[in-house]
Amino acid sequence: MRKYNFYAGPSTLPVEVLEELKEEIADYYGQGLSMIETSHRSPMYDSVHSETIELFHELMSIPKNYKVLFIGGGATLQFGMVPMNLLKSGTTAEYIKSGSWAGKAVNDARTIGPVRILWDGKESSYTTLPDAASIRPGNDAAYLHVTSNETIGGIQWKEFPKTGEVPLVADMSSDILSRVFAIRDFGLIYAGAQKNIGPAGVTVVIIREDLAVASPENLPAYLRYKIHAEKNSLYNTPPVFAVYAMHKVLKWLKARGGVQGIEKLNARKAGAIYSVIDKNPEFYSSPVDKKVRSNMNVVFRLPSEDLEKQFLSHAQENGMLGLKGHRDVGGCRASLYNAMPLEGAQALANFMQTFAAEKG
101 catalytic? Reply is: yes
Pick the catalytic residue from 101, 248, 252, 269. 101
Contact (Cβ atoms closer than 8 angstroms) between residue 99 and residue 147: yes
Contact (Cβ atoms closer than 8 angstroms) between residue 299 and residue 153: yes
Contact (Cβ atoms closer than 8 angstroms) between residue 121 and residue 160: no
Pick the catalytic residue from 67, 108, 171, 175. 171
Calpha distance 69→15 (Å, rounded)? 26
DSSP strands (E only) in the chain: 4-5, 66-71, 92-97, 115-120, 141-147, 149-150, 155-156, 168-171, 188-192, 203-208, 297-300, 320-321, 332-335
What secondary structure does DSSP assign to 148-216, as a single string?
SEETTTTEE-SS----TTSPEEEE-TTTTTSS---GGG-SEEEEETTTTTS-TT-EEEEEEHHHHHT--
Calpha distance 177→165 (Å, rounded)? 25
Calpha distance 217→93 (Å, rounded)? 19
Pick the catalytic residue from 195, 226, 248, 324. 195
Query: With 0-12 CB in 10 A as exposed, 13-18 as middle and 19+ as buried, what is 240?
Result: buried
Calpha distance 155→248 (Å, rounded)? 29
Q: Which residues are catalytic?
A: 101, 171, 195
